[in-house]
Amino acid sequence: MEKAAALLPQPGRTVSALSDELGHENLSSFSQSFKQVYGVTPKQYQVAESPTQPTSPPYSRPHRHSIDPVT
């Protein structure tokens, strides 16, 4: 499971392919075994441990300033 935990965060890795690569007979047994060790599913671990992609700041609309009428 340590090898799985090390490989899961790598970009482009799928849980299914990793399960096959590590010699597990099926995805279900791999996921159950992983969750027993780490407390989360392989996919949850992958999402939590993967490097985040840079994101742009949230879009905010410019504020409209009210214009006081000239009297």
Whether 31 maps to a domain, the answer reads yes
Give 7's contacts (C-beta < 8 A, 6+ positions apart): 13, 18, 21
Q: Tell whether the model's pLDDT for residue 43 goes beyond 60.
A: yes
> How is residue 58 written in tokens?
């949230």
Q: Tell whether the model's pLDDT for residue 4 goes beyond 50.
A: yes
Number of folded domains that form the chain? 1
Whether 34 maps to a domain, the answer reads yes
Whether 14 maps to a domain, the answer reads yes
Q: Tell whether the model's pLDDT for residue 21 goes beyond 60.
A: yes
Q: How large a percentage of the chain has pLDDT more than 70?
A: 72
Domain region containing 17: 2-49
Average confidence (pLDDT) over 26-33 = 93
pTM for the model: 0.67
